[in-house]
Structure 1
Amino acid sequence: MDIFVYGSLTEPEQVGQVVDSFAFLGPAVLTGLHPVQGESPTLAPGGKTGGRLLRTAEVAALDSDERVDDDLYVRVSVPLIRDDGEGEGTVEVYVGDPTRLGVEEPAVWPGSAEVEPFSDRVERYLREQDVQVQYRD
């Protein structure tokens, strides 16, 4: 599976502590979300984020590391577009809950946190906005 990574997962040493087998496919840019910093990096609506495409079959290990089962991060699919504009399917992206990660700058997701789970608000934003990963092969 291909995953857009940013933050510490762009470093081979960090990825190697989580999975046994992986390859970086090259640099990529996520449009529609920008990085914000808390206890760990996450993403917020708008802007762009530079990162890398990571390929690994060990997604369960990454999900565990990102605490997907605990809802700290949600793993979502976004369109993958080559620099020539051709679609390539989808790529996965981890988005962390800014409230739980202690993000200090505004990281406002649509909807109400009291009524709607964070994962639903992220999914809705992705459906309504032009969020995609672009890469050079």
Structure 2
Amino acid sequence: RESGERLEAEGGCPDARLSGVSKQRQAANARERDRTHSVNTAFTALRTLIPTEPADRKLSKIETLRLASSYISHLANVLLLGEDCRDGQPCLRYQDMILHGSAALSGPSLRPICTFCLSNQRKQQMDQNIKLSVNF
């Protein structure tokens, strides 16, 4: 009986108080669903901007973030080198420029592999093979 009297003094019956908490929880859940939907929509939009092989490959969120970062670096190298990257491998060419400039200091090192440069290289080789087969 004391707890009922305390609840009345605090603003109502136990059911009214619980329904207020429940409404707050429902509102918080709705906000979280909206936030999750917004994040998923952004990932879907980002996936459409990243070239993949095969083209319809579904990327996980972490793959999407990693490839997006790599693709941004690749595009930055394309812009940096401009006409000097006609071979489709701007990242390798950029690494060569850096290594030749500081080779004496750093010594031999491994070059990172850019999947976008490799993809461009494969496409160019396929195009050359098609041209050669057409000429024969």
TM class by shorter chain equals: under 0.3
- Which is strand-richer, 1 or 2? 1
- Which is helix-richer, 1 or 2? 2
Greater Rg by CA: 2
TM-score, scaled relative to structure 2? 0.21
TM-score, scaled relative to structure 1? 0.21
